[in-house]
Amino acid sequence: MTISADHTAPHSTSTEAAENALTEAVKKFGITVEDYMLPARHQIQMVDPDGRLIPESEQGTQPGHEYPVPGDDELLAAYERLVVGRRVNDQNSALVRQGRMAVYPSSHGQEACQVAAALCLSDADWMFPTYRDAVAVMTRGVDPVQVMTIFRGDWHGGYDPLQCKVGIQCTPLTTQLLHAVGVAHAAKLRGEDTVVLAMCGDGATSEGDFHEALNFAAVFHLPVIFFVQNNKYAISVPLAHQSVAPSLAHKAVGYGMAGERVDGNDVVALLAVLDRAVKLAREGSGPLLVEANTYRMQAHTNADDDTRYRESAEVAEWRAKDPVTRMRTYLTDRGLLDDDGEVRIREKAEAVATQLRDGLSEDVAVDPQELFRHVFSAPTPQLKEQSAMLADELARDAAASSSDQEAAK
């Protein structure tokens, strides 16, 4: 099987190595490279919206696209994170309504994607999230209040990306996918087995950097998983206005990488697909594209009015596919979750909500001099001058207000 016989670079050993590694990976599945790259004919779904495990023959799998059901411990851990994630979303939305936060782009309804994106990674791996992926970042282990700093308004980011191995939640769409590619490239050059998961939404797949990132990752054969949460809307614009591809996962084949689509409200299927994607990427079979078919249950942010562009019937239809209740039913029916377990998990979720309320209700003092401190590794003479100007302005304000107080006495 040759996939690039007509455009192999004459001197590029890296391209040959890439092709061989991919071909080797595909051999294991006993299918052609094209069949490996194309997503399965149907989305992968393991647990249906009613919480029933679907028989293997109906899970959407076909040769090379079979996925084992993850272990019970992993599923229970995932359920706990789902409950915490839902509570985080609803707590944050409440904090916005109370005026404690400027804005919160909620992932309510997408928690299965959020949880699976974090749980599939190892500690040394990296994640590059968007502004809507706060729950994924928290699930990765980053302090919830640090995650929310970006929306609290005292700085543009609250955690140390190097320490957490999580990029700062990115606002300009898909620009962070290229950073993911760079992190993976650097790791590969040093011989490290880091995997990088790069997140974006359906609307973002229209951006130029989406194309450039997928192409770079494929050409350099890098262990990057592009995880697209297709939540059907880019603010108000529906998916049909972004793409007429058979699915977003089908875009993979154009770059020479494998694509798969999965029920984004089924955390069991998500974990199964992402776990295998991470394993393949770590073993050197190159990048993969995973599209999760999900739904943004709430408006884009509190500033948006979703009744202007979608029907409530559609929202209701998706409410019936809720990822949290689906998993609760599945685990309860399997005898893995009982009332005590549920209570324990809810207590954990409540503890995180309390942490968020306390952390975000706090009036954090801002230091105006911080403006100048991190522009460069050391301030330039011009920044020192401006810093002194502001210090002087503040000192004069303080002196004026204290003399006003004296006069009032």
Partner 1 sequence: MSPTITTSSEANGNVSAATARAAASAAASAEAAGPQPVTMAKALNTALADAMHADSSVLVFGEDVGMLGGVFRITDGLTATFGEQRCFDTPLAESGIVGMAVGMAINGMRPVIEMQFDAFAYPAFEQIVSHVAKMHNRTKGAVKLPMVIRIPYGGGIGGVEHHCDSSESYYAHTAGLKVYTPATVADGYRMLREAIDSDDPVVFMEPKKMYWTKDSVDLGELRRLHTEGTTAGRTSEGRAAVARPGTDATLIAYGPSVPTALAAAEAAALEGRSLEVIDVRTIVPFDDDTVCASVRKTGRAVVIAEAHGFASVSSEIVARVQERCFHYLAAPIRRVTGFDVPYPAPKLEKYYLPGVDRILDAVDDLQWEN
Distance CA 110, CA 39 (A): 21
| Encoded tokens for 316 | 């209701």
Over the window 373 to 392, marking each residue x when it contacts partner 1 by CB under 8 A and - when it does not, the resulting string is xxxxx--xxx----------
> What residues contact 11, with CB distance under 8 A and at least 6 apart?
none
64 near 27, Cβ under 8 Å? no
Q: Taking contact as CB under 8 A, which single stretch among the options 32-40, 63-71, 215-223, 356-364 is the one that binds partner 1?
A: 215-223
CB-nearer residue toward partner 1: 138 or 181: 181
Among 3, 181, 197, 253, binds partner 1 (CB under 8 A): 181
Q: Taking contact as CB under 8 A, which single stretch among the options 5-13, 68-76, 227-235, 302-310 is the one that binds partner 1?
A: 5-13
| Encoded tokens for 226 | 């592009």
Q: Taking contact as CB under 8 A, which single stretch among the options 52-60, 91-99, 207-215, 297-305 is the one that binds partner 1?
A: 207-215
> What residues contact 8, with CB distance under 8 A and at least 6 apart?
15, 16, 19
Asked if 253 touches partner 1 (CB under 8 A), the answer is: no
Asked if 281 touches partner 1 (CB under 8 A), the answer is: no
252, amino acid identity: A
Q: What is the CA radius of gyration of the chain?
A: 24
141 near 102, Cβ under 8 Å? no
CB of 199 to partner 1, least distance (A): 14
Q: Taking contact as CB under 8 A, which single stretch among the options 10-18, 112-120, 263-271, 350-358 is the one that binds partner 1?
A: 10-18
Q: Taking contact as CB under 8 A, which single stretch among the options 88-96, 103-111, 180-188, 327-335 is the one that binds partner 1?
A: 180-188
Asked if 155 touches partner 1 (CB under 8 A), the answer is: yes
Residue 261's H or E segment, with its range, is: strand 258-263
- Cα 244 to chain center, whole Å? 24
CB-nearer residue toward partner 1: 162 or 407: 162
Distance CA 195, CA 213 (A): 15
Among 8, 12, 354, 402, binds partner 1 (CB under 8 A): 12
Asked if 172 touches partner 1 (CB under 8 A), the answer is: yes
228 near 291, Cβ under 8 Å? yes
Residues that bind partner 1 (CB under 8 A): 11-14, 126, 155-157, 160-163, 167-168, 172, 175, 177-191, 208-209, 211-213, 215-216, 219, 370, 373-377, 380-382
